Structure formats: structure tokens, C-alpha cells
């Protein structure tokens, strides 16, 4: 791993130096960010580090720290370690990154300005939020440089892929524990707690808030609550939950049917077949927008074979009949952020690659490159507000509404894997399925 990290650091150094030269800057300074407090209160929000900072360093709980990148020199890390007895301060710097950088430890946030004074010139690019500013260190976030960095970040280094595989391995036992809790009749809140225990996470350090939905709650795409009371009957279970390792995320969704609910179980199985087919479409050079459009054709096949809609697959897609059942995008870039940056960029110079007409929720419109990690997460839902619209459309007569009513008790289905695109002619690496198989 040490060798992978050093290679990763060297890659970032090369990318940064090239970006600085192309955009007319001579140094790059990155703020980790500061701890933020609730309005009129002394309680802090959960700290979220600047992704540009944790791209270089596996430091996710280090507010007020800084990084300086200078051509031809080792990165300088200004490491904030207060002498604090109210809270546990960051531990002494340790790990493979320490020997690869020039390290300065500060005890007060303001000391960072003096520690970086010799790095700052009128041609310094400073990345961070406005509230991270110190005298002489005001973030300017130059867009041309950010475009180059964001475009490059779409392709993961071997070190980053190793962290993301580890994030899968951390999440998989938790998904299995959550399923067992569902089968035992637990509440949503109890299932969530089982997940936390098995993943060795707390709510503070999850990469995103878990979605834990039983029955009809699975029809709410970003269901944000967790009932403490189990339902009278647990028919179905959807969990969208990940894990985090050194700042890199996994993002996994599974849907389960309770024993005896065979019609819904068959629908889940049909979606599983199509989801794996979509995973196989993750190939170098493929336009991700085409995978999204392929998803609608596959959803149409499931709807027709299950007897939910009596139309040809082509007519369903052309008539927009699949959209109420699958109203979101097929996925997104994944990495330092769950919805990683750069998904809509037309090129490394910026611009926007448009979404397909009528598909406004797609989060990635770039052609796939080897080293990208994307999610593949088709869904099939029974969402009351969208079904009402479908019922009022010219295609309503083709829908078996009795079947829809039966299946609406289960909410819906989403199956999500994290998939790495590989080189020309190579099959994709399904990080999620590999982790489940290993477990």
C-alpha cells in the first residue's frame, strides 16, 4: 500500500504541476476547511473536509489544516493539532503520508498563515470555502484550474481503487447484518443500528445518511426517516448504505422480499438480471448516457414480462411509460464524494455535456474512461404521485392497475453496485459483487 500511495501522490503532483502551468499559477494551496456551528448555537455540524484536501491525504477529521503544492518540491502539510482538553485533538501525524511531505504542526488555526507565507504569491491558486480564509490566504478557486483537476479526478489511481475496494469490504458485512435484522422482523431504526455495528461506523462517519425503508417506504427515493416501531408485516426491504475508508466511499443498494412474497421476489430477481446486464455495459469509450437509455429498455422488458404493462418494449420507452417506474438516473461517478464531481463536464476545459432530453436526473454524461468508478443502480418503483400521472395519461389502459395495486405494498426495487471501468476490451470490475463473493 505504501508504494501505491507514493505513486498516487506522484500522479497528483504531476497533474497539479501541469494544471498550474496551463492556467498561469505557480503554487496551489488547499484548505481542509473549518468546523461550522449551528446558527445561534455552540454545537458544530459534522465536519466535511474539502475533497481536494483528502485527495492528497487520508485525513478526514482535520479542520484548519492546509496543503501547499509547489512544482518540484514535496507537498507541505500544515497540520492543526491543538492542545485541547475540551475535545480529543487529532493524534500525532502518522502513516505512510508523513515521510512523503514537508510537515509543519500548528497549535492555533491562525498560525497557518505564517506557515504558508513563503508559498503565497499573486499567482497562487487557493482552493477552499470562503470561511476558511486567513490573512493572506483567501480562497480564489480559479475555475480553469478546477476544471482540469475535476476532470482528472474522474480517473482513479491504483491507490484510490484499493481504498474503494476496502470501502466495499467494510459495507458488505453490514448489508448482510441489515438483511438478517429485516428477516427477524426488526424496525427500520433497529436495522440501521445493526448496520452501524457491523460496519464499525457511527452516524458521524458514514459517507451519506443510510436509506432504510420497509414496505411502502421503499418507494421514497431518498427516504430520510427510520421508524422505531416495526410494521405489522414486513413485506419488503430496501437499504441504500455505504461505508468509508480513508475518505473514499462505497454506495450499495439492495432490495429484499420477505419469505412467502413470491410475486415481488420474482420482480426483484428480474431486476437483478437486468442490473447485471447494465454492469456489463460499463466499458471504456461507452457514453454513460447510453447506459441510462439502455436501462429504460430493460425496465420495459421487466414491466412487460411481469404483466404490469401490456405494450411492446419500444412503445413503452417511446411513450415515456417507463419513466414513472424509473424516475431517476442510472448512476453517477463515485470516489472522494458519493456523487463525485465532474460528471457533466464536456472536456477538461469545462463546458457541459447535456443530459438526454427528458432525463433531467441523470448525474453523469461523460464517456467512460478506464479507471472511472460509477454506480449502476436501476430501479422499479410504485410511487403514488407518479402513478397518478400515468393513470391520467393516454397509456393508462395498457397498465394492469390491479397488479400495480398489489405490488405497491412493497414500495419498489433498487439494486446498486459500484463498478470500475477497465481498459479497452476488458470486462468491468464489479467492486460490490466481488466483495460480497469474498464475504
- Cell (9 digits) for 215: 414496505
- Statement to judge: residues 184 and 110 lie in one domain: no
Beta strands in 173-285 (DSSP E): 211-214, 236-241, 244-245, 248-249, 252-257
- Statement to judge: residues 248 and 358 lie in one domain: yes
- Statement to judge: residues 52 and 183 lie in one domain: no
- Statement to judge: residues 124 and 169 lie in one domain: no
The per-residue pLDDT for 209 is 97
pTM above 0.95, yes or no: yes
- Statement to judge: residues 136 and 165 lie in one domain: no
- Report the b/e string of 198-237 with b at 16+ CB within 10 A: bbebeeeebbeebbbbbbbbbbbbebeebeeebeeebbbb
% residues pLDDT > 90 (the chain): 98
- Statement to judge: residues 358 and 299 lie in one domain: yes
- Cell (9 digits) for 375: 454506480
d(CA 357, CA 228): 41
- Cell (9 digits) for 306: 411481469
Choice between 85 and 163, residue whose per-residue pLDDT is larger: 163
> Mean pLDDT score of the chain, rounded to an integer?
97
- Statement to judge: residues 136 and 169 lie in one domain: no
Element holding 166 (H helix, E strand): helix 158-183
- Average pLDDT (33-41) is 96
Last residue within a domain, chosen from 111, 138, 153 = 153
Q: What distance lies between CA 182 and its chain's CA centroid?
A: 25
d(CA 76, CA 56): 11
Query: What Cα–Cα distance (Å) separates residue 271 from each residue in 21, 301, 397, 412?
Result: 48, 10, 24, 11
- Statement to judge: residues 45 and 73 lie in one domain: yes
d(CA 320, CA 323): 6
Element holding 66 (H helix, E strand): strand 66-69
* Nearest-5° Cα angle at 378, 373 to 379: 145
Other beta carbons within 10 Å of 425: 7
Task: End-to-end CA distance of the chain: give it in Å, rounded.
Answer: 22
- Statement to judge: residues 139 and 197 lie in one domain: no
Q: What is the per-residue pLDDT across 352-376, written as a single tens digit (0 to 9) for each?
A: 999 999 999 999 999 999 999 999 9
> Angle at which helices 431-438 and 158-183 pack, to 10 degrees?
60
- Average pLDDT (202-216) is 97
Determine contact, residues 100/74, Cβ cutoff 8 Å: yes
* Total tally of structural domains belonging to the chain: 2
d(CA 112, CA 338): 30
Residue 99 has pLDDT above 80, yes or no: yes
- Statement to judge: residues 129 and 274 lie in one domain: no
3-state secondary structure of 420: strand
Q: What is the per-residue pLDDT across 224-283, written as a single tens digit (0 to 9) for each?
A: 999 999 999 999 999 999 999 999 999 999 999 999 999 999 999 999 999 999 999 999
- Cell (9 digits) for 330: 442510472
- Cell (9 digits) for 264: 415481488
Last residue within a domain, chosen from 116, 137, 153 = 153
The half-sphere exposure of 212 on its side-chain side, counting CA atoms within 13 A, is 28
> What phi and psi, each to the nearest 5 degrees, are found at residue 262?
-70, -35
The per-residue pLDDT for 1 is 59
The per-residue pLDDT for 2 is 84
Determine contact, residues 212/226, Cβ cutoff 8 Å: yes
Determine contact, residues 288/376, Cβ cutoff 8 Å: no
Supply the range of the domain harboring residue 303: 158-438
CATH number of the CATH domain containing 11: 3.40.350.10
Sequence-distant (6+) residues with CB within 8 A of 241 are 171, 174, 175, 178, 195, 199, 206, 210, 211, 212, 252, 253
The per-residue pLDDT for 147 is 98
- Average pLDDT (402-430) is 98
Helix and strand tally (H, E) in the chain?
12, 17
Q: How much of the chain is in helix, strand and coil states, percent to nearest 5?
A: 40, 15, 45
d(CA 360, CA 380): 17
CATH number of the CATH domain containing 312: 3.90.230.10
Q: Looking at residue 258, what DSSP letter applies? A: P
3-state secondary structure of 434: helix
Q: What is the per-residue pLDDT across 126-156, written as a single tens digit (0 to 9) for each?
A: 999 999 999 999 999 999 999 999 999 999 9
- Average pLDDT (392-418) is 98
Cell 413470491 sits at which residue? Answer: 262
- Average pLDDT (117-131) is 97
Last residue within a domain, chosen from 94, 118, 153 = 153
Residue 307 has pLDDT above 70, yes or no: yes
The per-residue pLDDT for 13 is 98
- Statement to judge: residues 124 and 190 lie in one domain: no
Element holding 171 (H helix, E strand): helix 158-183
Cell 481536494 sits at which residue? Answer: 52
- Statement to judge: residues 145 and 235 lie in one domain: no
Amino acid at each position: 500500500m505504501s508504494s501505491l500511495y507514493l505513486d498516487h501522490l506522484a500522479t497528483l503532483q504531476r497533474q497539479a504541476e501541469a494544471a498550474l502551468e496551463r492556467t498561469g499559477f505557480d503554487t496551489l494551496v488547499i484548505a481542509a476547511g473549518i468546523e461550522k456551528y449551528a446558527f445561534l448555537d455552540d454545537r458544530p455540524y459534522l465536519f466535511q473536509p474539502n475533497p481536494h484536501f483528502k485527495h492528497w491525504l487520508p485525513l478526514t477529521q482535520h479542520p484548519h489544516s492546509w496543503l501547499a503544492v509547489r512544482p518540484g518540491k514535496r507537498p507541505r502539510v500544515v497540520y492543526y493539532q491543538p492542545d485541547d482538553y475540551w475535545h480529543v485533538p487529532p493524534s500525532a501525524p502518522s502513516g505512510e503520508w508523513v515521510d512523503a511531505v514537508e510537515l509543519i504542526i500548528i497549535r492555533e488555526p491562525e498560525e497557518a498563515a505564517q506557515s504558508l507565507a513563503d508559498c503565497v504569491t499573486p499567482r497562487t491558486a487557493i482552493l477552499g470555502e470562503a470561511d476558511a480564509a486567513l490573512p493572506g490566504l483567501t480562497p480564489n478557486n480559479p475555475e480553469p484550474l478546477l476544471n482540469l483537476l475535476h476532470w482528472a479526478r474522474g480517473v482513479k489511481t491504483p491507490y484510490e481503487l484499493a481504498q474503494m475496494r476496502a470501502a466495499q469490504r467494510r459495507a458488505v458485512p453490514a448489508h448482510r447484518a441489515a438483511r438478517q435484522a429485516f428477516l427477524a422482523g426488526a424496525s427500520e431504526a433497529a436495522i440501521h443500528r445493526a448496520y452501524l455495528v457491523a460496519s464499525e461506523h457511527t452516524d458521524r462517519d458514514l459517507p451519506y445518511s443510510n436509506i432504510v425503508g420497509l414496505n411502502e417506504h421503499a418507494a421514497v427515493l431518498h427516504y430520510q426517516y427510520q421508524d422505531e416501531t416495526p410494521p405489522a408485516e414486513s413485506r419488503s426491504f430496501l437499504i441504500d448504505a455505504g461505508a468509508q475508508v480513508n475518505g473514499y466511499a462505497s454506495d450499495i443498494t439492495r432490495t429484499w422480499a420477505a419469505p412467502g412474497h413470491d410475486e415481488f421476489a420474482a420482480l426483484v430477481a428480474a431486476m437483478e438480471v437486468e442490473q447485471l446486464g447494465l454492469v456489463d455495459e460499463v466499458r471504456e469509450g461507452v457514453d454513460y448516457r447510453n447506459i441510462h437509455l439502455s436501462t429504460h429498455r430493460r425496465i420495459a422488458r421487466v414491466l412487460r414480462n411481469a404483466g404490469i404493462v401490456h405494450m411492446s418494449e419500444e412503445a413503452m420507452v417511446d411513450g415515456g411509460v417507463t419513466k414513472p417506474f424509473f424516475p431517476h438516473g442510472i448512476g453517477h461517478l463515485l470516489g472522494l464524494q458519493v456523487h463525485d464531481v465532474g460528471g457533466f463536464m464536456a472536456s477538461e476545459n469545462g463546458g457541459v455535456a447535456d443530459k438526454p432530453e427528458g432525463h433531467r436526473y441523470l448525474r453523469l454524461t461523460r464517456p467512460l474512461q478506464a479507471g472511472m468508478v460509477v454506480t449502476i443502480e436501476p430501479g422499479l418503483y410504485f410511487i403514488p404521485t407518479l402513478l397518478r400521472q400515468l393513470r391520467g395519461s393516454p397509456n393508462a389502459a395498457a397498465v394492469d392497475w390491479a397488479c400495480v395495486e398489489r405490488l405497491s405494498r412493497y414500495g419498489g426495487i433498487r439494486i446498486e453496485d459500484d463498478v470500475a471501468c477497465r481498459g479497452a476490451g476488458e470486462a468491468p470490475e464489479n467492486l460490490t459483487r466481488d466483495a460480497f463473493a469474498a464475504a
